[in-house]
């Protein structure tokens, strides 16, 4: 039903030619997905190579869990370069393993100097104890003290909460990047330009994409936003892992040899801190560089909508658009009235990283204020016939490309 409904919408509003219809999928697939398959094979090979180099035989490391409760200060003997914070959390409790967002790792004194080569991010929390933020799927390198950060923490500093929120915002933007290839027709050569670093206070996470010159005057309609939201929900409902891989800058340059912007950013990062490796993440087939750790799994996400696509005029050479979205995790559900307020706010263009001189689609902004939007989430929800409640796990059937 949904598939048919979406296609009729496309005929009715003839302007949405950009969204790929289901019939055109298999024809153009081979050329566009060459690049991604290439990256995927490189990713797999690198992972295998790293495993064989680092683990000639399995060694044990001592991991101390710092937490509140019965298992406080429990000591675990885990496998070096193999077991992740997620595996440690599984030993402690099922709930912790499901809810842990990121891990705070404090390396023990003996091997502190050796560690710094293989770190994701060095962040000086306080001057006395430097602690590193690890993704839940990233293998541990040495003896350490572990702490898990969740969305809801009763006794935590604002700094901890900021790190969790940033990681969540980053990974939601990552999903926006993952749907761009599927969302648009291949003839418009869509690709992700960058993930701007935007704080959660601006109300929406962003992903800048570049389209072909032919679609300069695209008028974004409500139907296309609903379509994009359904695509994103399709990915989320598959409960995919965010797989991390730490690589050298040379390898990353080779991986993104077509992408000039990303190459320049990798170079900049390498110049700033030459000791650190570059973190590459994979979600399904999509691979990209990120500025920090992501969350563990897409199953944590509860609300997710794509709220707006705005045209950017900042760089006149390329036809760039900004996709915006809003999301909240399972632990932090909100009432539908609050959600509608937040969603309305997320429709506005985020100008956090722009200068005031930039004028972006200001012609329609007055009209937007007058319009009363219906919530996109309501349009994409599926209710269970048995219970009358929102079915969160069966979103895969809503994927219109199937």
Site for another protein in 167-196 (CB under 8 A): 168
Contacts 24+ apart (CB under 8 A), 254-259: 254/42, 255/39, 255/42, 255/43, 255/280, 255/287, 256/289, 258/35, 259/191
DSSP secondary structure string, 67-127?
-SSTTTT-EEEEETTT--HHHHHHHH-HHHHHH--EEEEEE-GGGHHHHGGG-S-EE-SSS
Tell me if 371 contacts another protein by CB under 8 A.
no
Residue 73 in contact with residue 65, Cβ under 8 Å?
yes
Name the one range near another protein by CB under 8 A: 112-120, 229-237, 340-348, 375-383.
340-348
- For residues 153 and 96, what is the distance between their CA atoms, to the nearest angstrom? 12
List all residues 6 or more positions away from 214 whose beta carbon is below 8 Å from its beta carbon: 188
Tell me if 366 contacts another protein by CB under 8 A.
no
Nearer to another protein, 201 or 272 (CB): 201
Q: Which of 100, 203, 244, 277 binds another protein (CB under 8 A)?
A: 203
Tell me if 46 contacts another protein by CB under 8 A.
no
Nearest distance from C-beta of residue 70 to another protein, angstroms: 20
Residue 148 in contact with residue 196, Cβ under 8 Å?
no
Nearer to another protein, 177 or 203 (CB): 203
- For residues 99 and 401, what is the distance between their CA atoms, to the nearest angstrom? 31
Tell me if 117 contacts another protein by CB under 8 A.
no
Nearer to another protein, 93 or 165 (CB): 165
Nearest distance from C-beta of residue 402 to another protein, angstroms: 31
Residue 338 in contact with residue 157, Cβ under 8 Å?
no
Site for another protein in 298-337 (CB under 8 A): 328-329, 332, 334
Tell me if 345 contacts another protein by CB under 8 A.
yes
- For residues 128 and 87, what is the distance between their CA atoms, to the nearest angstrom? 28
Nearest distance from C-beta of residue 64 to another protein, angstroms: 26
- For residues 242 and 374, what is the distance between their CA atoms, to the nearest angstrom? 32
Q: Which of 58, 71, 153, 275 binds another protein (CB under 8 A)?
A: 153
Q: Which of 6, 138, 147, 202 binds another protein (CB under 8 A)?
A: 202
Q: Which of 164, 207, 226, 232 binds another protein (CB under 8 A)?
A: 164
Nearest distance from C-beta of residue 303 to another protein, angstroms: 10
Tell me if 86 contacts another protein by CB under 8 A.
no
Q: Which of 14, 26, 158, 274 binds another protein (CB under 8 A)?
A: 158
Tell me if 365 contacts another protein by CB under 8 A.
no
- For residues 104 and 149, what is the distance between their CA atoms, to the nearest angstrom? 7
Residue 125, beta-bridge partner list: none
Q: Which of 65, 86, 134, 151 binds another protein (CB under 8 A)?
A: 151
Nearest distance from C-beta of residue 66 to another protein, angstroms: 20
Contacts 24+ apart (CB under 8 A), 6-15: 6/223, 6/227, 6/230, 6/400, 7/400, 9/223, 9/227, 10/223, 13/221, 13/223, 15/218, 15/219, 15/221
Nearest distance from C-beta of residue 221 to another protein, angstroms: 25
Nearest distance from C-beta of residue 326 to another protein, angstroms: 8
Tell me if 273 contacts another protein by CB under 8 A.
no
Q: Which of 11, 12, 57, 201 binds another protein (CB under 8 A)?
A: 201
Nearer to another protein, 332 or 371 (CB): 332
Which DSSP helix (H) or strand (E) runs through 37?
helix 34-54
DSSP secondary structure string, 253-275?
HHHTTT-HHHHHHHHHHHHH-TT
Helix (H, G, I), strand (E, B) or coil at 15: coil
Nearest distance from C-beta of residue 153 to another protein, angstroms: 8
Binding letters toward another protein, positions 127-146, x by CB under 8 A: --------------------
HSE-CB for 374 with a 13 A CA cutoff: 8
DSSP secondary structure string, 38-73?
HHHHHHHHHHHHHHHHH-SS--EEEEEE--SSTTTT
Tell me if 200 contacts another protein by CB under 8 A.
yes
Tell me if 152 contacts another protein by CB under 8 A.
yes
Q: Given the rule CB under 8 A, which residues bind another protein?
A: 151-154, 156, 158, 161-162, 164-165, 168, 200-203, 328-329, 332, 334, 338, 341-342, 345
């Amino acid at each position: 039903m949904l598939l048919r409904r979406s296609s009729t919408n496309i005929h009715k509003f003839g302007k949405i030619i950009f969204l790929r219809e289901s019939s055109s999928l298999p024809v153009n697939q081979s050329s566009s997905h060459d690049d991604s398959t290439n990256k995927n094979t490189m990713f797999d090979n690198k992972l295998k190579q790293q495993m064989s180099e680092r683990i000639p035989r399995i060694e044990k490391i001592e991991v101390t869990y710092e937490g509140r409760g019965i298992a406080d200060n429990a000591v675990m003997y885990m496998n070096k370069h193999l077991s992740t914070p997620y595996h440690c959390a599984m030993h402690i409790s099922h709930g912790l393993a499901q809810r842990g967002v990121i891990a705070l790792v404090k390396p023990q004194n003996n091997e502190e100097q050796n560690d710094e080569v293989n770190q994701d991010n060095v962040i000086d929390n306080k001057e006395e104890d430097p602690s590193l933020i690890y993704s839940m799927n990233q293998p541990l390198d040495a003896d350490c003290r572990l702490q898990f950060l969740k969305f809801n923490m009763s006794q935590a500093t604002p700094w901890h909460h900021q790190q969790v929120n940033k990681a969540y915002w980053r990974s939601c933007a990552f999903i926006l990047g993952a749907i761009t290839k599927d969302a648009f027709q291949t003839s418009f050569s869509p690709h992700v330009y960058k993930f701007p670093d935007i704080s959660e206070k601006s109300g929406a996470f962003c992903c800048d994409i570049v389209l072909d010159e032919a679609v300069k005057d695209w008028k974004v309609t409500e139907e296309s936003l609903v379509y994009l939201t359904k695509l994103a929900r399709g990915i989320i409902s598959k409960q995919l892992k965010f797989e991390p891989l730490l690589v050298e800058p040379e390898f990353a340059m080779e991986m993104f040899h077509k992408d000039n912007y990303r190459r320049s950013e990798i170079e900049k990062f390498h110049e700033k801190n030459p000791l650190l490796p570059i973190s590459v993440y994979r979600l399904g087939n999509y691979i990209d560089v990120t500025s920090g750790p992501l969350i563990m799994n897409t199953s944590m996400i509860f609300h997710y909508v794509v709220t707006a696509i705005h045209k950017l005029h900042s760089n006149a050479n390329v036809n760039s658009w900004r996709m915006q979205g809003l999301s909240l995790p399972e632990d932090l559900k909100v009432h539908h009235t609050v959600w509608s307020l937040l969603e309305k706010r997320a429709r506005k263009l985020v100008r956090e990283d722009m200068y005031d001189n930039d004028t972006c689609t200001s012609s329609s902004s007055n009209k937007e204020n007058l319009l009363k939007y219906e919530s996109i989430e309501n349009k994409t929800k599926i209710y269970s016939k048995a219970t009358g409640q929102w079915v969160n796990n069966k979103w895969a059937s809503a994927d219109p490309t199937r």
